Structure 1
Amino acid sequence: MPRSPYMHLPPAARSRTVTAVLGPTNTGKTHLAIERMLAHKSGLIGLPLRLLAREVYGRIEERAGTDAVALITGEEKIIPKAPRYWVSTVEAMPLDLETDFVAIDEVQLAGDLDRGHVFTDRLLNLRGQSETLLLGAATVRPLLEKLLPGLNVVTRPRMSVLTYAGSKKVSRLPPRSAIVAFSADEVYGIAELIRRQRGGAAVVLGSLSPRTRNAQVELFQNGDVEHLVATDAIGMGLNLDVDHVAFAGNRKYDGYQYRQLTAAEMGQIAGRAGRHTRDGTFGVTGRVDPLDDELVEQIENHHFNSLKVLQWRNSRLDFASSASLRASLDVVPREDGLARAPIGDDINALEHLLRDSGISTMAKGPKAVELLWDVCQVPDYRKIAPANHAELLSTIYTHLMQDGAIADDWFTRQLAFADRADGDIDTLANRIAHIRTWTYVANRPDWLADPAHWQGVTRGIEDKLSDALHDRLTKRFVDRRTSVLMRRLRENAMLEAEITSSGDVLVEGQHIGNLLGFRFAPDAAAEGPDGKTVRAAAQKALATEIE
C-alpha cells in the first residue's frame, strides 16, 4: 500500500512541497493550478463548489482526455479505469490517493463557520508528493504563515482594474451587469422587474443544480439576455463575462444570523466584474445606501482585514464506541490561530440519532459506529427540520445495519416523490433538493445493491427536473421577443422582416404587430419598454419594406 499523502503533520513538516498563491479575484489562480496539475503525471484539485468542480473537470477533460480524469463530488462520481487527474469538491477529496500534485482552492474558506474545518484539515494535512498549491485571498496569509512555518508565498496582482460606479436604479444598469441579492425572493423580484423593463434576466442561485445553473448562465453568456440576477453564489470563482456588479443588498443570513457583508465578502463578489484584462465596475442599486469612501477604497485596492482564526475540528476520530466518537469530536485545538468549529449538521444528526434507543443499541463496535457517522454525513439539502432529517437518516442506518443495504423497493418509493416535472419554480427547486439527497446516497459505493444503476436513475431524474426548472425560469424571467429584438437592435444588424398576406409583421421570427396600409399597429401585448423596443424594431425593419 503506498504511503497516503494525508497525514496529521506536525507544524515543522507542514510547508514541505507547499506554495501559497494568494491574491484577489481575476488573478488567474485556478488557471495556474490547472496548468501546474497537467505538468505532473498525476494530480488532485479540491474546489469549493460542485458547480466549479464540474467546470474545472470539463477543462481538464478537454486537454487530457476523458479516460485520464475523474470527478468526485458528494453527488457525482465519474471515475474511469485508471485516472491520472482527480477533480473534487474539498469535502469529497479522496484522502487515500498518492498524487504528484495537490491544489486546494479558496483556502480563505477555512475561516467559514460552516465548512471551514474541512478546508483547515486539508490545508494542514493533505499534500502532493512533488508540489502542493494553496490558492486563495490574501486575508488568510498571516494564519497560513503561522500554521505552516517556512511557507513559500507568491502574491498575484489582479489582471484588470475594478472601479466604483456609484448608485444606479435597476432599470438604468448597463448591459452585461450582474445584480446580487441575498434571498431567492429578492432575486425573483429583481428578475421580474428587469423582464418588464429590459426584456429579461438569467437567474443564478446556489441551490440550482449545475445543469440548470449552466443553462441559465448560457442565456447570459450568449447574449440572449444582458442581465444576470444572482445570490452571492457567483462570488466563488464562476467565470462570467460581467462588466458591472450591482449590490441590491448588503445583508445576508449566514446560517446563524442576519448580518452585514464583510468588506472582503463584498470584494470577492464585486471582483467578478471584468474578465482577464478587461476592466470592471461595481456599485449599488437604489435599494442600498451608497458605499462609504473607506469601503470603496478597500474593494478597489483589494485591502481587507486578515482572518483572525481558522475553524478546526478534530479529524482523528475514535470509533471504538459512540461515547468515544463524541469525545473525539469534542477535542479542542491546541494551536494558536485555530478555533473549535461550531457544532455542524452532522454532529446534530448524530445526537438526534443516539437519543433513539434502537439506534444506540445497533451502534456497537467500531464498524457500526463508523457507519453511523458516515450516515450522519448525508447533507440536509431539503432544509425542512433537523428532526425530519434525523428520521430519514435513522431509516437509512436501520436498513444498512439490518439488511446490509438499502432495500430497492423503499429507495424506489423515495425517488417517486421527486420524479415529476410539473409544478412551479419553487416546487421544482424543492424536488431537486429532494433528489440531491438520493443522488448522494446512490454515490456511496456500498449502500445499495446496485449503486451504478441507481446513480443513473437519480442523475436522470435530476437532469429532467433541471431542464424543467430552466424552462420555468426562462418563461417567467425572459421575454423572448423583447430580448431577441433588443439584441439585434444593439448589434445594429439588418433586421429580417416578413409581412404575411394578412398583414402580420414578423421581425427575426417574432410577431410584433400588423401593417394596415402604411400604418403600423404594434402588438397589443407589447406595453411599456416592450412597446418601445417593438416600435424601434418595426421602424428599422419596415423602412425598406414600406419604401
Structure 2
Amino acid sequence: MYLTSQPMILSGRSVIAVLGPTNTGKTHYAIERMIAHGSGMIGLPLRLLAREVYTRLVERVGASNVSLITGEEKITPLKARYSVCTVEALPRETKVAFVAIDEIQLAGDLERGHIFTDRLLNLRGREETLLLGSATMKPILQQLLPGITVVERPRLSQLFYAGQKKITRLPQRTAIVAFSADEVYAIAELIRRQRGGAAVVLGALSPRTRNAQVGLYQSGDVEYLVATDAIGMGLNLDVDHVAFAQDRKFDGYQFRNLNAGELGQIAGRAGRHLKDGTFGVTGRVDPFEPELVERLQAHQFDPVKVLQWRTPHFDFSSIVSLQRSLDAAPRVHGLVRALPAIDQQALEHLARYPEVQDLANTPERVSLLWDACALPDYRRITPAQHADLILTLYSDLARHGTVNADFMAEQVRRSDRTDGEIDTLSARIAQIRTWTYVSNRPGWLADPTHWQEKTREIEDRLSDALHERLTKRFVDRRTSVLMKRLRENAMLEAEISVNGDVFVEGHHVGQLSGFRFTPISGMEGPDAKAVQTAAQKALGLEFEARAARLHASGNNDIAISSDGLVRWLGDPVARLVGSDHIMHPRVILLADEQLTGNARDHVVARIERFVNH
C-alpha cells in the first residue's frame, strides 16, 4: 500500500560520490573497487555499456563469477559474485558488499531520471557504495544525502576549442555528432564520397552492431565516426576531435538547444588518458560563443538543481489507486515529480479499456498489469499502439498465466529475415528486442530458455546484417584500406594484369599504361589523391622493372605512331616535338614522377637512341 504519511529519511553515510568530467577514469576505478570486495553490483545507463563492463570483468575474474542483467539479456552463472546491470535492472535492495551507479547526472533526465534518483537514494552496498558522474551533481547530493563523501577527479588530459570547419576538412580521428538517424546517415554518406568512409554509432543499434561499427573505427579501417550523443556516455574511443554538426536535439518532449553540460559530456570524448583533445563545430553550426568555449574547456557547468522522482510505493488495490499513488509528490526539497514515463502513459491508456477494468480485479492482477506496462517501446510507436501490444500480453498473462506460444512464435517469425536495407533491418531489430525482453521476464513464457536463445540468435543475425549494410553504404572499402596501409607506411602489394589493370591490396585502383598510372574514374578530392599516392608508392618497383625491360628491348618492341607518339609494346612512353634539327626531334617522356633517377635516364636514353638512329 502507498503510505501518504511515510517520511523520507535519507543519508549519505558510507556513500562516496566520485565526480568529474569525462576521461577521469571513474568507471575503471569502480571496477577496481568492486573486485576488491567479495561481492558487488554496478549499474550503467546503457545496455551496450553494461556489455562492455561485463566483458572487462570477465577478463579479470572469469565468466563464472560475473552475471549480466539487462532488460533484454540475462547471463546468470550459479555462483556469480559480481553483477553488471542496466540501472533499470538494478534491484531496489541488495545484500552485496559493493554497489556502484554510473552517470548519476541522468537523475535529472526527464525520461529516465526517476529510476536513477531512486537507485542513488536507496540502493546501498553492505560495505561500500560509489556514485559516479558529473561534478554538476555535487551540491544536490550534499543536500539530499547528508554525510556523503565527495571525491572530485581532474580530467587526465586537456580539451581545446578548434573553431568551425567544413565536414570535408575535418582532421582524421574525428567524431562528428548529430542528433537524428537521418542526419547521421547523410553526414556518413558525404564522408564516404569525400574521405573514404565512416563508422556510425546510434543509441538504437544493438550492442553487436555498435561494437562492429566501433571496431571499424578503432582498427583504422575508417578515420571518421558519425554518431548521436550515444558516444557521450562512457564509450572509450580513440577520438582526437569532436565536431558538432548540430546543437539542437529532440529530448522526447521538445526540440531544444543542448546545454553546456550536455555539450561538455560529448566534447569530452576527444582525447583519452593523457592525450589532449579538441572540439569544434561544422559549417552548419554557428561557432560557439567565447563564454561557452571557456566553460567547456574548464569543465564548468551549471549544477543540477532538482532530481526527477517517482514514488516507489505503489497501491495495487485497484487501477485507480495505482494511478493515484503514481501522482504522489515528493516531500523532500530537491526532488520533483517526474513527468509520466512510458509505463505510466501505457497505464493511462489501458485504464480506459473495459477489458482491462474487468481483468484487473484483484491486487495481484493490478500488480501484473503494472509489470506488463514496463514493456519498453523499442519500436517508437504511438502510445495507443504500444498500449494495444501490452493489452495482448496482459490478457494472456491474466487469463492463462503465460503469453500464448503461437502468438509469440508468429511475432518472432516476422522478425526473422535479413533482407532489406538499413531502415528495414533497424525496425526488425527493434521488433525482436521487444520479444527478447518478453522472453527474459520471469514467468511470462512456458519455455523461456527456448525463446531467449531464439530471440538472441535472431538479433545477432539481424545485427550482423545491419553492420554489413552500414559498411556497404558508408565505407568505400578500396579507399579506406589504401589509406590505412598508407598511414602504416607499409609496402603495398600491387598486381598488374596483362592488360594493365592495377590492383593494390586486392582492390582495382586504375590502369597502368607504359609509365603512367590513371586512377579509375568517379573519384574526387582527397580520395583520388589517396588512391593515386598509394598506387604510385606501390608501383615504384614496377616502374624500375619496366625501365630495365625497356632499356633491354629490341627495336621491334618500339614504334613511332602517326600521331607522334613513341610506343613500347603498344603503350605510349614518349612524345616527339620539333627541334632545331628536323632529323632529330626532341623526346618528351610520358611518365609519372615516380620514374626517377637512373631508371628514368635509362628510359630516355633508350628512346632517344631508337628515334635518332
TM-score, with length taken from structure 1: 0.97
Query: Deviation per CA, 1:499-542, whole angstroms, max 9, x where unpaired?
Result: 12332211111111222333323223434443322222222111
Equivalent position of 1:140 in the other structure: 137
Return the letter of the residue paired with 1:195. R
1:61 to 2:44 alignment: no
> Is the CA contact (8 Å cut-off) linking 1:27 and 1:157 kept in structure 2?
yes
Residue equivalent to 1:454 = 451
Alignment of 1:211 onto 2:214: no
Cross-structure match for 2:29 = 32
Q: For 1:379, which of 376, 384, 392 is the aligned residue?
A: 376
| Gap change, CA 1:287 and 1:231, over 3 Å in 2 | same
CA deviation after TM superposition for structure 1 residue 374, in Å: 0.3
Secondary structure of the residue aligned to 2:89 is: coil
Residue 473 of structure 1 is matched in structure 2 by 470
Match in the other structure for 1:3: none
CA separation in 1, counterparts of 2:524 and 2:305?
54
Is 2:169 the partner of 1:172?
Answer: yes
Tell me: higher relative CO, structure 1 or 2? Use CA pairs within 8 A at least 6 residues apart.
Answer: 1
Indicate whether 1:486 and 2:483 are aligned. yes
Higher-Rg structure is 2
Q: State how far apart, in whole Å, the 2-side matches of 1:84 and 1:448 are.
A: 27
Amino acid at match of 1:180: V
Q: For residue 141 of structure 2, give the secondary structure of its aligned residue in structure 1.
A: helix
Does 1:127 find its partner at 2:109? no
CA spacing shift, 1:131–1:438, aligned 2, 3 Å: same
Counterpart code for 1:502: N
Correspondence 1:285 to 2:282 = yes
How far has the Cα of 1:492 moved from its partner?
A: 2.2
Specify the alignment match of 2:584 in structure 1. Answer: none
**Aligned partner of residue 274 in structure 2, secondary structure:** coil
What is the SS of the residue equivalent to 2:172? Answer: coil
1:367 to 364, 367, 376: 364
Which residue of 415, 420, 425 maps to 2:417?
420
Alignment of 1:224-239 (within 5 A): 224-239=221-236
Distance 2:81 2:287 in 1: 50
Partner AA of 2:184 in structure 1: V
1:539 aligns with 2:536: yes
Unmatched runs of 5 consecutive residues or more in structure 1: 1-7
Letter of the aligned partner of 1:405 in structure 2?
T
Task: Give the match's secondary structure for 1:359.
Answer: helix
What letter corresponds to residue 343 of structure 1 in structure 2? P
Instruction: Specify the alignment match of 1:356 in structure 2.
Output: 353
Q: Report what 1:94 is aligned to.
A: 91
The aligned runs of 1:146-295 (5 Å cut-off) are 146-295=143-292
Deviations 1:101-160 (A, max 9, x none): 000101111000000000010011000000000011011111100100111111000000
Task: Give the C-alpha shift of residue 10 in structure 1.
Answer: 6.9
**Separation of aligned partners in 1, 2:134 and 2:523:** 47
Please tell me the residue identity of whatever aligns with 2:104. Answer: V
SS in 2 for 1:252: strand
Q: 1:402 aligns with which of 389, 399, 403?
A: 399
Q: Matched residue of 1:188: which SS?
A: helix
**Match of 2:390?**
393
In 2, distance between residues paired with 1:65 and 1:118?
Answer: 30
Quick check: 1:12–1:148 contact (8 Å CA) kept in 2?
no
Report SS of the residue matched to 1:53: helix
- SS of alignment partner, residue 114 of structure 1: coil
Q: Could you tell me which runs of 5 or more consecutive residues in structure 2 were left unpaired when the two chains were aligned.
A: 545-613
Which letter maps to 2:39? Answer: S
TM-align CA RMSD: 1.3
* Counterpart for residue 514 of structure 2: 517
The residue identity in structure 2 corresponding to 1:355 is R
**Offset, 1:310:** 0.4
Residues 10 and 39 from structure 1, CA distance in 2 versus in 1: closer, same or farther, beyond 3 angstroms?
A: farther
Structure 1 residues 360, 11: closer, same or farther in 2, change over 3 A? closer
Q: Distance in 1 between matches of 2:531 and 2:113?
A: 51
In structure 1, the partner of 2:434 is 437
| C-alpha contact 1:495 1:541 (8 A) present in aligned 2 | yes
How many residue pairs match? The answer is 540
8 Å Cα contact 1:11/1:148 also seen in 2:
no
The aligned amino acid for 1:299 is L
> Is the 1:11–1:149 contact (alpha carbons within 8 Å) kept by the matching residues of 2?
no
**Structure 2: which amino acid aligns with 1:381?**
Y
* Counterpart residue identity of residue 380, structure 1: D
How much identity, in percent, do the aligned residues show?
67
Query: What's the CA shift for 1:95?
Result: 3.2
Query: What residue is the counterpart of 1:506 in the other structure?
Result: 503
Structure 2 residue aligned with 1:339: 336
Distance in structure 1 (CA, Å) of the matches to 2:6 and 2:166: 53
Partner of 1:299: 296
Query: Is this contact kept in 2: 1:48–1:90, CA < 8 A?
Result: yes
Render the CA deviation track for 1:244-290: whole Å, top value 9, x for unaligned.
Answer: 00000100000111000000000000000011111100000111011
Question: Which position in structure 2 is the counterpart of 1:4?
Answer: none
Indicate if the aligned counterparts of 1:17 and 1:129 stay in contact, CA closer than 8 A.
Answer: no
Q: Which amino acid aligns with 2:467?
A: H
Q: 1:403 to 1:131 in 2, by over 3 A?
A: same
Q: Is the 8 A contact 1:179 1:229 kept in 2?
A: yes
Runs of 4+ in 1 over 6 A off after TM superposition: 8-11
> Would the aligned equivalents of 1:199 and 1:482 in 2 still touch at CA under 8 Å?
yes
Contact 1:194 1:200 in 2 (8 A): yes
Task: Select which of 5, 14, 18 maps to 2:15.
Answer: 18
